[in-house]
């Protein structure tokens, strides 16, 4: 086992050796040799060369050490002045990282394997997966899956805990249709992969209270937001948008990013090359090719000096600086520790109820009559309504997700 590096011992021994080196030098003898260089013997010339070279080397090393110390102190002061600390400890093997599925960070190490972190930098899955990625399902829903050598199947990822589950992913691949806003219909329509369009029937889309991004039918599309009643409340005029977080959504117009509030008003000017999601009153943005953190009123919370900053949580953000990934920890007096900016449109769960003639309802692993039955639900059982996929409803029952036939479900309230 290697011993711990002792800084005091290292510099103490170095000082002792330097003292011994200079203690051996006969200054008077050197001066006499320099006065009569033609009379110097070969041995004296060699000794003078050793003394001179050694002294020059020590001087260079000394200057380098002073410069490194000055740079370290200056960098520390710069970072502390910016309202945060930045450390690469624990992230030395990370070569790339990105937000996936809105709730987790997928990181890649030097051998190409991938692992999972939570937004606050906590590593929840070691880098042993071949791939981790998001897959689209029905409109406004997606799942995160992982491929690794321990299973021949694609496995589900729990985006709350950041863990790869043993459960096989039973997705249907690319969704056959998506929602779009139609000016001609003055409402939502289904747009299918082959380009055909159909109207949205009653019960096709059930949403909890909140605002949801939706595109128009143009190519390329522009995005706006609908509410739970499926009304277009923010016009589709943005190239890209992110979901609302703490009452603000990032949006892109003419290549510049800014933030809008839930009334569609500009909350932060469109001055940035990238904008992330607000959490605890802070969001990562990019300007002039470098990243920093801003507050909701567009004040700089952490100075612009990073190559990348990902969405974070509780004042912690995964970031890249000088080619190395590490963790920004923001001073507590800067970020909102109590999260006093809740969204007025924060999604709430939509509940539904099993409605049969008295028998039980089969809860299946995937949408289809031949899919495996994973639970039998008694009449009257209340469930969380997640999404509708043609004649099937995706539900949550006691923490487990599955599918039930839509004819036997009624919305509560």
Mean pLDDT value across residues 119-137: 93
Least confident span in 105-119, 187-201, 283-297, 336-350: 336-350
Name the most confidently modeled range: 14-18, 67-71, 125-129, 341-345: 125-129
Q: What single-letter DSSP state applies at residue 342?
A: -
Q: What single-letter DSSP state applies at residue 313?
A: B
Q: Do 157 and 145 meet the contact criterion of CB atoms below 8 Å apart?
A: yes
How confident is residue 214, by pLDDT bands cut at 50, 70 and 90? very high
pLDDT at 2: 43
Q: What is the pLDDT of residues 50-109, one digit of tens each?
A: 666 666 777 787 788 777 665 554 444 444 445 789 999 999 999 999 999 888 999 999
On the question of a cis peptide bond just before residue 262, with omega within 30 degrees of 0, the verdict is: no
Name the most confidently modeled range: 76-85, 131-140, 332-341: 131-140
Rounded to a whole number of angstroms, the distance between the first and last alpha carbons of the chain is 65
Q: What is the pLDDT of residues 151-201, one digit of tens each?
A: 888 999 999 899 999 888 877 566 778 889 998 888 899 998 888 899 887
> Is 349 exposed, middle or buried, given 0-12, 13-18 or 19+ CB atoms closer than 10 A?
exposed
Within 10 A of 326 (CB to CB), how many other CB atoms are there?
Answer: 22
The DSSP code sequence of 10-52 is: HHHHHHHHHHHHHHT--HHHHHHHHHSGGG--HHHHHHHHHHH
How confident is residue 335, by pLDDT bands cut at 50, 70 and 90? confident
Report percent pLDDT > 90 for the chain: 49
Least confident span in 15-19, 154-158, 204-208, 375-379: 15-19
Least confident span in 132-136, 202-206, 209-213, 345-349: 345-349
Least confident span in 75-79, 114-118, 259-263: 75-79
Please state, in angstroms and rounded to a whole number, the distance separating the CA atoms of residues 122 and 111: 20
Q: Do 145 and 154 meet the contact criterion of CB atoms below 8 Å apart?
A: yes
Q: What is the pLDDT of residues 21-56, one digit of tens each?
A: 555 556 566 666 666 666 666 666 666 666 666 667
Within 10 A of 28 (CB to CB), how many other CB atoms are there?
Answer: 8
Mean pLDDT value across residues 385-402: 84
Tell me the C-alpha to C-alpha distance, in Å, between residue 403 and each of 176, 179, 286, 377, 386.
18, 21, 42, 11, 10
Please state, in angstroms and rounded to a whole number, the distance separating the CA atoms of residues 406 and 392: 5
pLDDT at 221: 93
Within 10 A of 245 (CB to CB), how many other CB atoms are there?
Answer: 19
Where are any strands of DSSP class E within 31-169?
A: 84-87, 94-100, 104-109, 114-117, 123-136, 142-148, 155-158, 163-168
Its sign, for the CA torsion 28, 33, 35, 39, is positive
Q: Which CATH class is domain 350-411?
A: mainly beta
Mean pLDDT value across residues 342-354: 69
Longest Cα–Cα distance in the chain: 119
Pairing of strands 211-216, 177-182: parallel
In the chain, where are the structural domains located? 7-81, 350-411
Please state, in angstroms and rounded to a whole number, the distance separating the CA atoms of residues 411 and 394: 13
How confident is residue 385, by pLDDT bands cut at 50, 70 and 90? confident
């Amino acid at each position: 086992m290697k011993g711990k590096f002792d800084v005091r011992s290292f510099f103490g021994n170095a000082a002792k050796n330097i003292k011994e080196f200079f203690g051996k030098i006969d200054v008077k003898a050197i001066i006499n040799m320099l006065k009569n260089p033609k009379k110097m013997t070969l041995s004296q010339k060699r000794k003078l060369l050793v003394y001179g070279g050694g002294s020059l080397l020590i001087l260079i090393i000394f200057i380098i050490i002073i410069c490194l110390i000055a740079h370290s102190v200056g960098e520390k002061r710069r970072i502390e002045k910016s309202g945060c600390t930045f450390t690469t400890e624990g992230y030395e093997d990370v070569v790339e990282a990105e937000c996936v599925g809105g709730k987790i960070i997928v990181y890649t190490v030097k051998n190409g394997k991938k692992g999972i972190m939570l937004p606050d930098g906590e590593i929840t899955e070691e880098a042993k997966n071949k791939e981790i990625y998001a897959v689209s399902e029905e409109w406004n829903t997606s799942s995160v899956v992982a491929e690794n050598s321990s299973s021949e199947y694609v496995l589900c990822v729990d985006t709350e805990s950041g863990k790869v589950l043993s459960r096989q992913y039973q997705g249907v691949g690319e969704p056959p249709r998506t929602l779009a806003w139609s000016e001609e219909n003055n409402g939502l329509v289904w747009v299918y992969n082959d380009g055909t369009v159909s109207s949205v029937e009653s019960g096709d889309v059930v949403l909890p209270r909140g605002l949801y991004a939706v595109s128009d039918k143009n190519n390329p599309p522009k995005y706006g937001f609908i509410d739970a009643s499926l009304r277009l409340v923010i016009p589709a005029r943005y190239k890209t948008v992110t979901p609302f977080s703490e009452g603000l959504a990032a949006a892109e117009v003419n290549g510049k990013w800014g933030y809008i509030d839930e009334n569609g008003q500009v909350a932060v000017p469109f001055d940035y090359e990238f904008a992330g999601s607000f959490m605890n009153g802070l969001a990562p943005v990019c300007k002039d090719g470098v990243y920093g953190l801003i507050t909701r009123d567009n004040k700089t919370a952490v100075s612009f000096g990073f190559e990348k900053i990902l969405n974070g949580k509780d004042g912690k953000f995964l970031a890249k600086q000088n080619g190395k990934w590490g963790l920004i920890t923001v001073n507590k007096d800067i970020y909102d520790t109590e999260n006093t900016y809740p969204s007025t449109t924060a999604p709430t769960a939509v509940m539904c109820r099993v409605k049969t003639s008295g028998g039980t309802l089969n809860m299946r692993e995937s949408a289809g009559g031949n899919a495996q039955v994973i639970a039998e639900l008694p009449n009257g059982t209340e469930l969380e309504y997640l999404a509708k996929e043609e004649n099937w409803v995706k539900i949550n029952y006691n923490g487990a997700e599955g599918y039930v036939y839509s004819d036997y479900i009624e919305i509560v309230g």
